[in-house]
Chains A and B, each alone.
Chain A
């Protein structure tokens, strides 16, 4: 794993390294299916049955079911894919950003208006 030491040192950041990509493939490809309206309807009608169609690990499935946004990233999720689940829930990118960094959507939005999370701030 030494190849990616420098990337892994960056706090609060989950770069889609080969290791993470391999681990997250089933999770990400589940998320991708939510691009299609019929699939969104099927997931909404029967979340558990829909998830049965995908070879997720138990941890990945639990992270999806509990909408553990950081957990999904730790299990190989890419934010562009997990955001498809967030969109399905009606959650905005700033809402998801807040949930990943421990603040409300309104606080996250205000942080961005104030210039964003800057070097030296928490989690940087």
Chain B
């Protein structure tokens, strides 16, 4: 049977991807962050998930305001990196897992989560940067990837509660899938940051540390945080953190923290990473 072996929470700042792509990870600005990623990469190599369900948001790349799915699940065989204005990132094409993705689609929709299904889309830094963080720069990604794209750009995004519940439903769906597969769930985005307005550059390290501390043992308290509190306390783009709750919901209540790391700044963001196992 398929089994969820782990969850990973990580920021997906585009400049982190650019640092990888341009060989800058050992420069003084970036070294403390990438030193913090090294144990996570070792963990990834040792645990070797077959499939990653990667929860992320699109940044006006595959989707624009003409079509705004709240939850969009990729069911395709592959996804190409999007051109975000500098040409596509020089990273491998992302290989999907249509069998598991369609199983998830059927299971989750019948379980009450009305997903949008996507056969064709490009993927932007929101999806590829977490892969670079966890896998480095391999010629091919070492796992198949099922994209789960969440709207956090048009207000209102889904609530933290809804995201947490969706994660629990993903757990039920994976548990009911018969092939022997090791599945990991990545929740990405955040941590505190604000790109827009006179308040651009806002960071709240205390909020980020609170979130990292409570994610393992008290996710219910995080699931109660309303949108306005994320925007006020973690910045307008810090609301991406609701996506980490999908990952957390996919792990059982007794999940334990294997590793975490936090660093300010990665470009305009507080950059966090956490690995949970059961």
Interface residues of A (CB under 8 A from B): 6-7, 10-18, 21, 25, 28-29, 31-32, 34-35, 37, 70, 73, 78-81, 83-84, 87-88, 93-94, 96-97, 100-102, 108, 111-113, 115-119, 123-124
Contacts A93-B267, A93-B268 given; indicate if A13 touches B65 (C-beta within 8 A). Answer: no
Whole-angstrom distance from the CB of B173 to the nearest CB of chain A? 31
Q: A13-B231, A118-B204 are in contact. Are A101 and B264 (CB under 8 A)?
A: no
**B65 surroundings in chain A (CB, below 8 A):** 21, 25, 28-29, 32, 78
A108 close to B86 (CB less than 8 A): no
| In the bound complex, CA of A95 to CA of B184 (Å) | 37
Interface readout for B55-97 with A: 1 if CB under 8 Å, 0 if not? 0000111001110000000000000001111100000000000
Interface residues of B (CB under 8 A from A): 15, 29, 59-61, 64-66, 82-86, 153-155, 192, 194-205, 227-228, 231-232, 236, 264-265, 267-268, 270
Residues of B within 8 A of A11 (CB): 198-199
> How many Å from the CB of B240 to the closest CB on chain A?
12
**Nearest CB in chain A to that of B199: its residue:** A12
B120 CB to closest chain A CB (Å) equals 16
Interface SS of chain A? helix
Query: Is A116 touching B155 in the complex (CB atoms < 8 A)?
Result: no
Check if A123 sits within 8 Å of B199, measured CB to CB.
yes
> Given contacts A116-B270, A117-B201, are A100 and B196 in contact (CB under 8 A)?
yes
A35 engages B61 (CB within 8 Å) = yes
- Judging by beta carbons under 8 Å apart, are B194 and A13 in contact? yes
| Contact across chains for B60 and A21 when beta carbons are under 8 A apart | no
Q: In chain B, what residue has the closest Cβ to A31?
A: B60
Asked whether, in the complex, the Cβ of B155 is within 8 Å of the Cβ of A35, the reply is no
Measured in the bound complex, the distance between the Cα atoms of B10 and A113 in whole Å is 20
CB atoms of A113 and B60 under 8 A apart? no
Residue of A nearest to B86 (CB): A87
Neighbouring B residues of A70 by C-beta, 8 Å = 197-198
CA distance A32 to B192 in the complex (A): 26
Chain A residue contacts of B267, Cβ below 8 A: 93-94, 112
